[in-house]
Structure 1
Amino acid sequence: MDWIKSINNALEYIETNLTEEIDYSKLAQAACCSEYHFSRMFSSMAGITLSEYIRRRRLTEAAFELQKTGIHIIDVAVRYNYDSADSFTRAFKKLHGIKPSEARKKGTMLKAYPRMSFQLSIIGVKEMDYRIENLDFELRIAGKKKTVKTRMAARVISELWGEAKENGFLKTLIDMSWEKPQCKMEGILGICGKDSDIRDEEFEYFMGARYQGEVPGDMETLLIPPSSWAVFPNVIDAWKRIYSEWLPASGYQLGNLPCIENFLTPGHQPENELWVPVITGYMEVKG
């Protein structure tokens, strides 16, 4: 399948650039998708993050060089993009359990992480629940936006919600979101960027709630036009599987709107949902 070939093209790019600065935008381009989506798809299929895979491959090759050559440790560190011998030594010891200087000793046990490749295999044994929602009205969302580096999105977004809980902003959104509910997107919302295909190094993560009243002065308003959505229970599981399983199988195209994480009221099952904009061809807008 073309998407498997694209992922392997990206892996080839990594291998040919282990001793260079890896350009994540070029890596995503090789995979024929956005940087944001490629990172999520890779993690879901490989079981480790993209950055961790690159780290393991570099340190594997570094160990081979230390064993086979008389190259100085600092030169190996620089070759594999470490700023100093100390940072290289810490990373090397974390992976291999020994210092780089000990890697040259005969009989020393090291870890090797071979190059990955993806092949067509049977997946989808576990079913994916989803529904299609056609919202024929404009969504008016009040909240605040934060700039997030694409490469660090998963960690940073989690930290943002932790901060919102501590400073009271989350409580404010809760009070707003459960006032006069009008549709199924009635929880606390996390809007990811401007469209479903994030290609920039940074994007705006909008933390808000649907609200029809007067917006507080320290917040702003985001408007999303009438649109169709594929809705998946369990945000974390959905992010892992929609790009590697659901999209290739469904034939749907992504719409030019952001994906939305919807965190629902206590006791609701599921507790959260991922809303993914799709083009269905059946949308009827009332006017």
Structure 2
Amino acid sequence: MLERLNQSMEHIERQLDQPIDVAELARIAATSEYHLRRMFSALAGMPLSEYIRRRRLTVAGAEVLVRDESLLEIAVRYGYGSGEAFARAFRAMHGVGPGEARRSGAALVSQPRLTFRLTVEGSSSMLYRVVDKPAFSVVGFKARVPLVHSGPNQAIIDFVRGIGSQAMEGLEKLSDQEPQGVVAVCDDLDPSRAEGTELDYYQAVITSGAAPEGAAVLPVPAGSWAVFTTSGPAPQAIQNLWRDVFTQWFPSNPYRSRPGPEILRTRMSPDQTEADAELWLPVEREQG
């Protein structure tokens, strides 16, 4: 998997001055476009679209400094429809406009080329199982919130606090299958998974029963799920689980992520310092 992912990175380098088709990158990586975006974001710490943008502006920045071409010619080569659009993007990355950079020979920011390698530490085992589930429903309370890659998501914190303990107790009684109890569910994420893009967040239960009036309902079709478990200090244990799933498990196993909600069941210790967590991710077997 990582070898093919690196081949797709080489393709990006050859196409920086041409349109880049993410579907073609996925074909080179021998996976789905959805899984490629998910895998790249988890491994690189940024969306694929952001990496491509930063690589283009890195190469364009070098050409601004050393070539005699007009700034507009360079802008068009790297996909910008006008000098103004190029200048805005250039300044956002480099902290200086292209004209000023050319006149002063300013130091520019560089986005290095990425190459992925699998590091096997062998210090711990990852506990997981693959479950085939029939269709079910996510039933509960729903909010549209921004995506936050690190640190607390205040929008989610405020949303959950506003639900109320009585409503949560009534919701928990509807749970009739795994994962049991009240869970956090994320769905309808932007394909780029860029910081600040929005997603549907549910404080909900998994059920096959009827939803009460006024509840938010997300129907989920039958499919396979990879279920990962961890225990340890909160929130570090959960954050490390997410990291390890995408940096270790997916590259080492014949599965890829597929579209669908991501479900996290968390149970905190009485003093709120330790957590037992169960992460459910929709998966499918790689072809071939």
TM-score scaled by structure 1? 0.67
Q: Give, in whole Å, the separation in 1 of the partners of 2:50 and 2:248.
A: 23
Residue number in structure 2 paired with 1:187:
182
**In 1, are the aligned partners of 2:65 and 2:101 still within 8 Å (CA)?**
yes
Which digits, 9 at most, give the CA deviation of each residue in 1:36-77, with x for residues without a partner?
A: 322232233334332232122111111122223222222322
Correspondences of 1:1-287 after superposition (within 5 Å): 3-105=1-103, 107-118=105-116, 120-124=117-121, 127=124, 129-132=126-129, 139-143=136-140, 162=156, 165=159, 174-179=168-173, 182=176, 183-190=178-185, 192=187, 207=202, 208-211=204-207, 212=209, 214-217=211-214, 219-220=216-217, 222=219, 229-233=226-230, 236-249=239-252, 251=253, 253=255, 258=260, 260-264=262-266, 267=269, 269-270=274-275, 272-276=277-281
Q: Residue 241 of structure 1 aligns to which amino acid in structure 2?
A: D
Question: Is the contact made by 2:143 and 2:159 (CA closer than 8 Å) also made in structure 1?
Answer: no
Q: Tell me, which stretches of 5 or more residues in structure 1 are unaligned? A: 199-203, 281-287
Shift in CA distance, 164/26, structure 1 to aligned 2, threshold 3 Å: farther
Provide the C-alpha distance between the structure 1 equivalents of 2:99 and 2:31, rounded to a whole number of angstroms.
41
Q: Whole-Å Cα distance in 2 between the matches of residues 215 and 173 of structure 1?
A: 12
Report the Cα offset of residue 262 of structure 1.
1.9
CA distance in 2 between counterparts of 1:245 and 1:84 reads 42
Cα contact 1:8–1:117 (8 A) shared by 2: yes
Count how many residue pairs are aligned between Structure 1 and Structure 2. Answer: 262
Measured after TM superposition, the shift of residue 122 of structure 1 is 2.7
**Counterpart code for 2:22:** Y
- The percent of aligned pairs where both chains have the same amino acid is 26
Aligned-pair CA distance for 1:161: 6.5
Do the aligned partners of 2:186 and 2:200 also contact (CA within 8 Å) in 1? yes
SS at match of 2:26: helix
Cα RMSD of the aligned pairs, angstroms, is: 4.3
Give the secondary-structure state (helix, strand or coil) at the position aligned to 1:264.
Answer: strand
CA contact (8 A) 1:261 1:272 kept: no
SS of the equivalent of 1:115 reads: coil
- The residue matched to 2:19 in structure 1 has which SS? coil
| Structure 2 gaps, min length 5 | 192-198, 231-236
Q: 2: distance between equivalents of 1:279 and 1:74?
A: 46
Taking structure 1 as reference, are residues 164 and 29 closer, same or farther at Cα in structure 2, changes over 3 Å only? farther
The residue type equivalent to 1:188 in the other structure is V
Per-residue CA deviations over 1:141-167 (Å, capped at 9, x if unaligned) read 32588999xxx9777xx9897499289
- Residues 182 and 205 of structure 2 are in contact (CA less than 8 Å); yes or no, is this contact kept in structure 1? yes
Question: Structure 2 CA distance, aligned partners of 1:214 and 1:106?
Answer: 65
User: Are the structure 2 counterparts of residues 264 and 161 from structure 1 closer, same or farther at C-alpha, using a change threshold of 3 Å?
Assistant: farther
Distance in 2 (CA, whole Å) between partners of 1:255 and 1:185 is 22
Counterpart amino acid of residue 187 in structure 1: V
Q: Distance in 2 between matches of 1:40 and 1:181?
A: 29
Q: Please say if residues 225 and 280 of structure 2, whose CA atoms lie closer than 8 Å, have aligned partners that are also in contact.
A: no
Report deviation, 1:7: 0.7
